[in-house]
Amino acid sequence: MSDINKKHFKHMLVVSDGLKSRYLKEKIFRASGISALIVALLFLAIIVFSISTTGYKAFAQTYIKTEIILEGAVDSSNIEDINYLGLIRDSLRRDFPELSTRAELADLYRMVSIGAQYELEQYLLDNLDNLDTAFAFDVLATSDVDMVAKSYFDDTQEQRGRLTERQYQYYLSLLNGNRIDKKFNTNLFTRGDSSNPEMAGILGAAMGSFFVLAITFFLSFPIGVGTAIYLEEFASKNRFNDFIEVNINNLAAVPSVIFGLLGLSVFINFFNFPRSAPLVGGLVLTLMTLPVVIIASRAAITSVPPSIREAALGLGASKLRVISDHIIPLALPGMLTGAIIGMARALGESAPLLMIGMVAFITEVPNSLLSPATTLPIQVYLWADSPERGFVERTSAAIIVLLVFLVIMNLLAVYLRKRFEKKW
């Protein structure tokens, strides 16, 4: 073999060894990426499974079947004079006629939620026209009864949970008589917060989140889009505009609690806006969301091909007409996508809202922008901090609802981009 052929052969061996090494590194890199993806999906599955297995039970609530007997006819003139709690206690006494002492009756009465009387009142108001003097009614049980009915306590624990031994015997008697029933937990979606787990709901927090997000969207979207249009289409390249662009990019990475401190010092301490109001929460989240909307809107404007501008200008259109009739319609899907992603981030925020007092215990459903309110993430925080077992499942249920909203918003962003995006 000649020297040239030997050199060529050695060169081929070197190249072959190099290719093998590169292919091996590529396989290792791909395997590492797949492994990381599998680990991430595994942790996600664990989190979702943990939340779901705890939270799904909150969508059902335990009731005690009883018979309510009215002392006389009920109409709009005397319905306010009825002792609803007394009617419920009378029905329970008829179920347990053997009870005579005050202590025995007190244990029986404590198995019924304080909210049962309000539900009975609402039932009578809804059925005044066709109300009988005796009718079946499901009485809301306390959270302690609900926990036992949902089998939260296994054989290694006391099966009666927080019920006394006497109350547990009452529960078994009702269970054997088919008087214990589970129904869909409407209170979870129709009531505000409460100190009693069986009466606590997320409606107040959901309405607070709605008001806050409405303010955030109607402020951040037009301001963010306007800023992006100015920076991309009108602003000249100078140090001042470069300074603005750098700070916008930096603000997108600022911790959210900083915006809460800013809102506390400016909106509450300086402008004297009320604490815990959705108006203040919306303004704070607007400041936090604006950089995201601006950056996404600028990217959407930049993605519009220059030929569109040049063609419109060549036909005699003014710069403003080019922007309003061509640039904005073509960039709008990307702008909306960025805005929705910013809203999704705002929906899950709690740190800035804690700083402006939206962590207050609010039982009423807010009906205006200045009403005291809280949001879903704050509601999760409050319930998670409660020592009562009944709030544990409601915490997980609220997280499930919050995740559903976040998934819907992200799917909406993907849909808008796929539906209206132009391919060039």
pTM to 2 decimal places: 0.85
The proportion of the chain whose per-residue pLDDT surpasses 90, expressed as a percent, equals: 31
AA identity, residue 363: T
Same domain membership, residue 342 and residue 213: yes
pLDDT at 394: 92
pLDDT at 18: 66
Q: What is the DSSP letter of 180?
A: E
How is residue 9 written in tokens? 């052969």
Same domain membership, residue 386 and residue 265: yes
Same domain membership, residue 245 and residue 167: no
Most confident of the following: 153-162, 220-229, 298-307: 220-229
Q: Of 18-22, 122-126, 385-389, which gets the smallest average pLDDT?
A: 18-22
What are 274-295's pLDDT values in tens digits? Answer: 888 999 999 999 999 999 999 9
CB 310 within 8 A of CB 317: no
Residue 410 has pLDDT above 90, yes or no: no
Same domain membership, residue 94 and residue 149: yes
What are 167-207's pLDDT values in tens digits? Answer: 999 999 999 989 999 999 999 999 989 989 999 999 999 99
Q: What is the CATH number of the domain that holds 230?
A: 1.10.3720.10
Same domain membership, residue 334 and residue 189: no
Rounded CA separation 72/74 (Å): 6
CB 66 within 8 A of CB 39: no
Which helix (H) or strand (E) segment is 60 a member of?
strand 60-69
pLDDT at 151: 78
Residue 114 falls within a domain, yes or no? yes
pLDDT at 424: 59
What are 191-201's pLDDT values in tens digits? Answer: 989 989 999 99
Range of the domain at 112: 60-196
Same domain membership, residue 145 and residue 186: yes
Same domain membership, residue 332 and residue 211: yes
* Unique residue bearing structure tokens 């979702």: 48
373 phi and psi, to 5 degrees?
Answer: -155, 165
> Which of 400, 424, 406, 393 has the alpha carbon at shortest distance from 152?
393
Q: 326: Cβ–Cβ under 8 A, 6 or more apart, which residues?
A: 304, 308, 309, 312, 317
Rounded CA separation 321/301 (Å): 15
What is the number of residues in the chain? 424
Same domain membership, residue 279 and residue 141: no
First to last CA, the chain: 57
The pLDDT of 308-323, averaged and rounded, is 83
Same domain membership, residue 125 and residue 235: no
Structural domains counted in the chain? 2
Same domain membership, residue 305 and residue 227: yes
Residue 172 falls within a domain, yes or no? yes
